[in-house]
Structure 1
Amino acid sequence: MSTRLRKNLHAGLRSAMGMLPQTTRHAIFRRMVDCDPAPDDRLQVRIVDARQDLEACFGLLHDAYVASGFMKPHPSGLRVTPYHALPTTTTIAAFWDGEVVGTMSMIREGVFGFPLQSVFDLSAVRAQPGRVAEISALAVHRKFRASGGKILFPLMKFMYEYCSQYFDTRHLVIAVNPNKIELYESLLFFRRLQAATVENYDFANGAPAVGATLDLHQAPETFRAAYTGREGRKDLHHYFVEQRLPNLKLPERRYFTTNDPVMTPALLDYFFTQRTDCFAQLDPRRLGLLHSIYDSPEYAAVLPPLPYGHQAGSAALRRHPRYSIKCPAVLTLEDRPQALEVVELSQQGFQAHGANDLAMGARGWMKVQLGEGVESTVLAEVVRRVPTAVGHFHGFRVEAPDPAWLRCVRLLETGTTHADLAAERPAGSLPSERRAA
């Protein structure tokens, strides 16, 4: 079948479907689900951190976006955005026999915010408890696009498990073409951020876009209600929530970090300066923010210099820790234990969330589980109180960091990439602080 005939057929089917009631359309989409519970061993989905794999992802994304009219061709043949440079962005790839055949990026809120916030109001999502991540940069190789989700569903399952279990994310947001939104609404129960379509979305070359969101805490019960009783390949509740696929290579972590940064100085220089002019296009504010999070000499050497009069450490730029963390802890105050969750970490302090309000100046010993088999005990003092509707956040000063704390902080503050943080190592050993690109 010719490409033109196929496009005309799809357009005709979309037109016919559009005449049906929405509930009927969504029911038809759910009946068309075909998710393979035992994918071919040639398929593997994982985080990409090697230069050649990232280049393949950015190339696949470029070709898909150009073909869809979402970007103009770039001389590099790559689609690289400033968000890909951030440690809060994770790019994954689906490999078939070692070839990249699908890709997707998950962007947790960092110093640049989200791509879609330029045209969609996220205030209602941000007002709810839990972190937000945008799902973006999705592309599947053309030879797999007609294969009934053979690549798409494993990518989405990795996204679901990673965001739920590893990325400390509760709310997903997306901006998609109006032709695709009902796929997300009918199968995954995304809800639109607003009724109207944005007719000109700059991040997609002025194409129209629809914004939507999904609460991952509510998703399991929503999926259960919609899919219980359906046969195996059509039961998306079982597929996303209960099924375990050996094809998905989720990250291994020594510490309970919530990001998996991959950009070494060499990779930043290669993709954002040598292969593209992405860094050269940044305004002074964004460039300053990059300098504020990549502040080691190795990173500073590959970032464009700040214009005269702009400083990464100025009052206008709020410093963001390169890594967040999610660690259970117990603080003992006057012989009374207080359960906490540490969410940010530095050598001399940390931020923690708990059910109880603590007095300013309160001091006690805190025992924190930094990772699997990695425990630290430190003397801490409350120096900041931030009550919220979902509990209390407190800032602490660490008065007596022990060796385990110092070792963890050293790794988290020296630009360590996710591969450096992955495997268990002999006690007291430190990995190399940089990986070769």
Structure 2
Amino acid sequence: MLQRQFRLDPKLFQGMLVKRAETLQEFEGAFRLLHDNYVQSGFSTPRPSGLRLIPHHLLPSTSVLIVRQDEQVIGTVTLVRDCPLGLPMEKVWDLSRYRSHGTRLAEITCLAVDPSCRRSARILFPLLKYIYEYAWRFFGVDMFAIVIHPKDIPFYENLLSFNKVPAPVVPDYLGAPAIAMHLDLRGARLAGEIGRYFSDMKLEEFIWPSREKPFLLDGPAMPAEIVRHFARLEPQMLRDLGQGRLDRFLAPFPGHRRATRFPVELAVEVAGEHGIVKNLSRFGLRLAKAPTDAAAGDPLEIRVLIPDESPLAVRGTLAWSSPKRGAGIRIESQEDWIRFVALIEKEFPSAADVMSALESGAA
């Protein structure tokens, strides 16, 4: 029924821009809109900063998407890639079953729309379309997860092809009943007008981020100086994580652990076979699929095919292999490899920077 009723005119979006937040003004506009929405709905009390953000917002695996009209943010949603801290909804729902075979999850969360536009598709549908395109063009995820009010199940189930996570309705999640849903992007097929809108319609109002290293999936989307700004502004938010979760929060930032792993999508040749690198660190890489006829401990010749650069030849050893998870390759200390990973590390704020900002905010 919803499919038959759906009609969307691209002229509705004229005068707006849909993009990833990149400046302090855009992030603050998104977090202020989110704060005001939550306060007005009775889900939270006002904060002194007038902003609402969660620890995941500071992670390089998170993107804040916005709809902007002139200089005002009138819509926002956050896309959180799976990370050592886990997804926000995993405080309540167990998503471990969806991580088999190396599936990459992302949670759609922190949706907020200007009150004057809530009854219109003018903001919501451009955001949803942007999320879909952004996910496969820049984010490298296979599956979405989302928490919604049960009254919205027909919209997500019938129109957007989401399925319910097998779990009962939670009676109180941030002040309202909630249910979890998921969408496997690898097999999603949207039909009718909504399918044409998501697949075929091109919107001039979409602005896509430029990336110096297109193979790097985790941006980072929030510049280092803005991460430090919010860590100083909201130190209690990070202290409330506790030591164990704070350690997992810091894991994606270079310098916190011996080897920070960076999610990537890189073509590679291993022992003459073509493959895909899913993540890498100074000490190795993980392949999506194990090389044929290789056993743990076998030496391997590897050529990493970096876009617009000469292939990087390194030597490695097969550390482990699994039909579901692919294979891990340990790379011996080699200057070219260390130099390549160091250039990636420079894209990110260091764990020391984040901790320094946290401590200065607490002073």
Q: 2:342 aligns with which of 410, 418, 421?
A: 410
Moved more, 154-163 or 172-181: 172-181
Q: Distance in 2 between matches of 1:292 and 1:75?
A: 29
User: Is the 8 Å Cα contact of residues 348 and 401 (structure 1) preserved in structure 2?
Assistant: no
Q: 1:214 aligns with which of 183, 192, 197?
A: 183
Q: CA deviation at 1:74?
A: 1.6
Q: Hey, what does 1:159 align to over in structure 2?
A: 131
User: Is the 8 Å Cα contact of residues 260 and 281 (structure 2) preserved in structure 1?
Assistant: no
User: Is the 8 Å Cα contact of residues 60 and 220 (structure 2) preserved in structure 1?
Assistant: yes
Q: Distance in 1 between matches of 2:24 and 2:40?
A: 24
After superposition, residues 69-88 of structure 1 pair within 5 angstroms as 69-88=42-61
Q: Distance in 2 between matches of 1:349 and 1:128?
A: 20
Q: 1:180 aligns with which of 152, 155, 171?
A: 152
Residue by residue over 1:317-369, the C-alpha shift from the partner in whole angstroms, topping out at 9 and shown as x without a partner, is x9642x311111112x3xxx111111122334222222534233433442222
User: Is the 8 Å Cα contact of residues 299 and 318 (structure 2) preserved in structure 1?
Assistant: no
Q: 1:362 aligns with which of 275, 298, 302?
A: 298
State the AA in 2 paired with 1:166.
F
Change (3 A) 1:92 1:386: same
Change (3 A) 1:282 1:355: closer
Moved more, 155-164 or 373-382: 373-382
Q: CA deviation at 1:184?
A: 0.9
Based on CA coordinates, which of the two structures has the bigger radius of gyration?
1
Q: Tell me the SS of whatever aligns to 1:356.
A: coil
User: Is the 8 Å Cα contact of residues 378 and 399 (structure 1) preserved in structure 2?
Assistant: no
Is residue 170 from structure 1 mapped to residue 142 from structure 2 by the alignment? yes
Change (3 A) 1:72 1:320: farther
User: Is the 8 Å Cα contact of residues 290 and 322 (structure 2) preserved in structure 1?
Assistant: no
User: Is the 8 Å Cα contact of residues 345 and 351 (structure 1) preserved in structure 2?
Assistant: yes
User: Is the 8 Å Cα contact of residues 164 and 182 (structure 2) preserved in structure 1?
Assistant: yes
User: Is the 8 Å Cα contact of residues 130 and 206 (structure 2) preserved in structure 1?
Assistant: yes
Q: Tell me the SS of whatever aligns to 1:59.
A: helix
Moved more, 66-75 or 261-270: 261-270
State the AA in 1 paired with 2:164.
R
Residue by residue over 1:373-415, the C-alpha shift from the partner in whole angstroms, topping out at 9 and shown as x without a partner, is 12332222223122123x732323145453xx55542221124
Q: Hey, what does 1:289 align to over in structure 2?
A: 248
Q: CA deviation at 1:178?
A: 1.8
Change (3 A) 1:240 1:398: farther
Change (3 A) 1:214 1:293: closer
Q: Tell me the SS of whatever aligns to 1:196.
A: coil
% same residue = 30
Q: Distance in 1 between matches of 2:181 and 2:333?
A: 45
Q: Distance in 2 between matches of 1:172 and 1:153?
A: 16
Cα RMSD for the two superposed structures: 2.4
Q: Hey, what does 1:392 align to over in structure 2?
A: 326
After superposition, residues 413-424 of structure 1 pair within 5 angstroms as 413-416=345-348
Is residue 279 from structure 1 mapped to residue 248 from structure 2 by the alignment? no
Q: Hey, what does 1:4 align to over in structure 2?
A: none
User: Is the 8 Å Cα contact of residues 22 and 222 (structure 2) preserved in structure 1?
Assistant: yes
Change (3 A) 1:365 1:244: farther
Is residue 252 from structure 1 mapped to residue 221 from structure 2 by the alignment? no
Q: Distance in 2 between matches of 1:375 and 1:39?
A: 46
After superposition, residues 366-385 of structure 1 pair within 5 angstroms as 366-371=302-307, 373-385=308-320
Change (3 A) 1:182 1:66: farther
User: Is the 8 Å Cα contact of residues 60 and 348 (structure 2) preserved in structure 1?
Assistant: no
User: Is the 8 Å Cα contact of residues 190 and 212 (structure 1) preserved in structure 2?
Assistant: yes
Q: Distance in 2 between matches of 1:263 and 1:236?
A: 31
User: Is the 8 Å Cα contact of residues 340 and 352 (structure 1) preserved in structure 2?
Assistant: yes
Q: Tell me the SS of whatever aligns to 2:313.
A: strand
Change (3 A) 1:292 1:214: closer
Q: Tell me the SS of whatever aligns to 1:277.
A: helix
Q: Hey, what does 1:324 align to over in structure 2?
A: 263
Q: Distance in 2 between matches of 1:407 and 1:400?
A: 9
Q: Hey, what does 1:133 align to over in structure 2?
A: 106
Q: Which residues of structure 1 form unaligned runs of 5+?
A: 1-26, 228-234, 297-311, 418-437
State the AA in 1 paired with 2:177.
P
Higher RCO structure (Cα 8 Å, ≥6 apart): 2
Q: Distance in 2 between matches of 1:168 and 1:343?
A: 10
Q: Tell me the SS of whatever aligns to 2:18.
A: strand
Q: Hey, what does 1:299 align to over in structure 2?
A: none
State the AA in 2 paired with 1:378.
A
Q: Tell me the SS of whatever aligns to 1:163.
A: helix
Q: Distance in 2 between matches of 1:415 and 1:377?
A: 20
Q: CA deviation at 1:40?
A: 4.1
User: Is the 8 Å Cα contact of residues 326 and 344 (structure 1) preserved in structure 2?
Assistant: yes
After superposition, residues 46-125 of structure 1 pair within 5 angstroms as 46-125=19-98
Q: Distance in 1 between matches of 2:167 and 2:240?
A: 33
State the AA in 1 paired with 2:113.
V
Q: 1:193 aligns with which of 138, 158, 165?
A: 165
Size of the aligned set, in residue pairs, is 347
Q: Tell me the SS of whatever aligns to 1:269.
A: helix
State the AA in 2 paired with 1:85.
L
Q: Tell me the SS of whatever aligns to 2:139.
A: coil
Change (3 A) 1:30 1:66: farther
Q: CA deviation at 1:274?
A: 2.0
User: Is the 8 Å Cα contact of residues 293 and 319 (structure 1) preserved in structure 2?
Assistant: no
Q: CA deviation at 1:186?
A: 1.7
TM-score by length of 2: 0.87
Q: Tell me the SS of whatever aligns to 1:117.
A: helix
User: Is the 8 Å Cα contact of residues 121 and 193 (structure 1) preserved in structure 2?
Assistant: no
Residue by residue over 1:191-225, the C-alpha shift from the partner in whole angstroms, topping out at 9 and shown as x without a partner, is 11135210122xx2x321110001111113xx1xx
